[in-house]
Amino acid sequence: MNYERLWVWQQSTDLAIELMELFQSFHNRPFYNQISRCAISVPSNIAEGVTRDSQKDKRRMLIYAIGSAAELQTQIMLAQKMQWLSDKQAKDLLHRCKRVYVGLHRLKKRME
């Protein structure tokens, strides 16, 4: 399976890039580092997971991607509560992140 053709990989990659650009010049470097790490982790774990040989390894990596997507949702919510994101920005980002989260669960189920 070519991970680059997966909708969930494409969307999570776009989301990661957007978040890194959005917070690139942000004054709170620890927050920027954390949100960047979890955002990058989602498509990275998808890519690693779908290219693994064993079903057990594929499943494990997709579970990591799901966890990173949940962490990313939390980071977005924190940024909203700290007013580092507008409500509109946060709503859009959370919606996209939740779509990726659901897509990951569907992909994991399909690979089982």
Q: Any idea which residue has 């996209």 for tokens?
A: 96
CA 6 to chain centre: 14
What's the pLDDT tens digit per position in 28-86?
899 999 999 999 999 999 999 999 989 999 999 999 999 999 999 999 999 999 999 99
In this structure, the number of other CB atoms found within 10 A of the CB of residue 105 comes to 15
What's the pLDDT tens digit per position in 24-37?
988 889 999 999 99
Is 1.10.3190.10 the CATH number for 3-111?
A: no
Q: Is the pLDDT of residue 112 over 80?
A: no
Residue 36's pLDDT is 95
Q: Nearest-CA neighbor of 39 among 58, 25, 63, 21?
A: 21
Q: What percent of the chain has pLDDT over 70?
A: 100
Q: Nearest-CA neighbor of 78 among 100, 62, 93, 63?
A: 93
Kindly give the residue spans of alpha helices, DSSP state H, lying in the chain: 7-23, 29-50, 55-81, 87-111
Mean pLDDT of the chain: 94
